[in-house]
Structure 1
Amino acid sequence: MDVTFLTTEELAARIKYDARTIRQQLKDSVLIEGTHYIRPFGRRKILYIWEVIQEEMLQTTARQQELAIPMANGGMCHG
């Protein structure tokens, strides 16, 4: 199994988020250590696992579409 490790800046470029947003808001709330990222050799450097993050983003999108209720005007109710 091939695994792609990304730095915070590389992940930010792929998902079109600011690196600061990833560090301050997503890390440890949405992105969990051991699942979405690792700290190689117990150091400060963080490497994100692209395949896991990509799969999580696609699953979240699919779940949101399943919960949507079609409305008469063509819109969707997500609640």
Structure 2
Amino acid sequence: ATHSVQRPGGLGTGSGGDGKYAPALARAAVATGVDGVFMETHVNPKVAKSDAANAIKFSEVEKLWKTLLAIHKVVKGA
């Protein structure tokens, strides 16, 4: 999900991106039936040494995973 919003070279010397869209893309992907989601996380994305612009704040991951699992159950009929 986080690589989907990445802009390689977007910061001139490194990758940029728009991480605020990563959760929506993850939800959409699970809704289409994918069985796995890759996402980069960090306690404080603003200071992450890699992919800071795309990382999802660690404190937001649990809520997102619960949402993704709920969508997955509906899609897969579990």
Normalized against structure 1, the TM-score is what? Answer: 0.32
Normalized against structure 2, the TM-score is what? Answer: 0.32
Compare relative contact order (CA 8 Å, sep 6+) and give the higher one, 1 or 2: 2
Q: Greater CA radius of gyration, 1 or 2? A: 1
